[in-house]
Structure 1
């Protein structure tokens, strides 16, 4: 992968997330599609390794997260007027874990939309739902919310890339925490372009 994508200029956690997401999807376009901030990732990394809960929207996301138990309440959720099962599952999960969790949403835009209505005070929201209906809009709303987040601009996303982003933080060493982002540290999709030449190069409801 590094023969086709130069990530050497990225700060450590940003680089880890970008590389895992690109690798999981075999899609270099994620390098310019992802939006993330090194300082937010550093705080989320600390929270994760201090034992903060991890909540997922669907079991497929949970299946991709290794070495950590997750909370998924989709099986307990019910749909109703103006409420999807995915959204209800997010409500149930918040009632269980409270504030300070890491939320990993890779399937249903309505799950992400519901999370944004709660006073969840998340350590991080990995918001990468996929699809042509609501995905772009929900991810834009996440970025506008000011919450610490990993998102992307396009319709792309899915369970595999969402779990890959969490795994990048889970497997990153705790002995060498990264520094908060600075003006010289890339923190948005503009900094994550593929190299022009090799150099280092479930249920929706």
Structure 2
């Protein structure tokens, strides 16, 4: 099913591309970079994001084959269109040495098991907890925002060797994390391109 793109979005992308050349990026990388830049109106994301086309290709295939999508907060889930998400934050509790966000990640992993796409846009502790699990993710979109723990948790994600989309700076948040996942959802599969 093709997505109907509103004329405002078309014009917004035209203006963005007039200011930012993304033509050198491979297809899925370009899709993610452009959607993240568009969601934040922040051209610096083109230099701040860290991602790999091969990882994105595998994640795109897994996503379109029905792999579960787990989010750290409901705001990320609200931004993801065309797909149900798993968020266990309402069920989670904090305790000594464990934030509510980290507990929610544990609960989500118990529910979905390995092979999911994880989209973290809010809590660095959620990303840190995910890295302690044997989640074998299809992809981790690790874009938590903040001045405490965000940079460090994203660096740990990159060092883990897991397939990932992250960024170097403190920037991030629910909107950009959802945008990165939406880029993969919106990008056509091989079968759709043949139609």
Q: Flag whether TM exceeds 0.5 (same fold).
A: yes
What displacement does 1:204 show?
A: 43
Counterpart CA distance in 1 for 2:184 and 2:130 is 21
What displacement does 1:203 show?
A: 39
Counterpart CA distance in 1 for 2:67 and 2:165 is 17
- 1:9-66 deviation line (CA, Å, top 9, x unaligned): 1100000000000000000000000000000000000000000000000000000000
> Does 1:44 pair with 2:34?
no
Q: Cα gap change, 1:203/1:45 in structure 2, threshold over 3 Å: closer, same or farther?
A: closer
Q: Cα gap change, 1:172/1:98 in structure 2, threshold over 3 Å: closer, same or farther?
A: same
What displacement does 1:118 show?
A: 0.1
- 1:130-181 deviation line (CA, Å, top 9, x unaligned): 000000000000000000000000000000000000000001000xxxxxxx
Counterpart CA distance in 1 for 2:89 and 2:194 is 10
Q: Is the 8 A contact 1:107 1:203 kept in 2?
A: no
- The match for 1:163 is 178
Gaps of 5+ in 1: 175-200
Q: Cα gap change, 1:108/1:147 in structure 2, threshold over 3 Å: closer, same or farther?
A: same
Counterpart CA distance in 2 for 1:120 and 1:69 is 19
- 1:94-146 deviation line (CA, Å, top 9, x unaligned): 00000000000000000000000000000000000000000000000000000
Counterpart CA distance in 2 for 1:93 and 1:121 is 14
Counterpart CA distance in 1 for 2:161 and 2:25 is 22
Q: Is the 8 A contact 1:54 1:101 kept in 2?
A: yes
Counterpart CA distance in 1 for 2:108 and 2:87 is 7
More helix by share: 2
Gaps of 5+ in 2: 1-15
TM-score normalized with structure 1 length: 0.85
TM-score normalized with structure 2 length: 0.89
Q: Cα gap change, 1:204/1:30 in structure 2, threshold over 3 Å: closer, same or farther?
A: farther
Counterpart CA distance in 1 for 2:192 and 2:53 is 30
SS across alignment from 1:3: helix
Which aligned segments of 4 or more residues in structure 1 are displaced greater than 3 angstroms? 201-205
Q: Cα gap change, 1:41/1:203 in structure 2, threshold over 3 Å: closer, same or farther?
A: closer
Of the two structures, which has the highest relative contact order with CA contacts closer than 8 Å and spacing of 6 or more? 1
SS across alignment from 1:203: helix
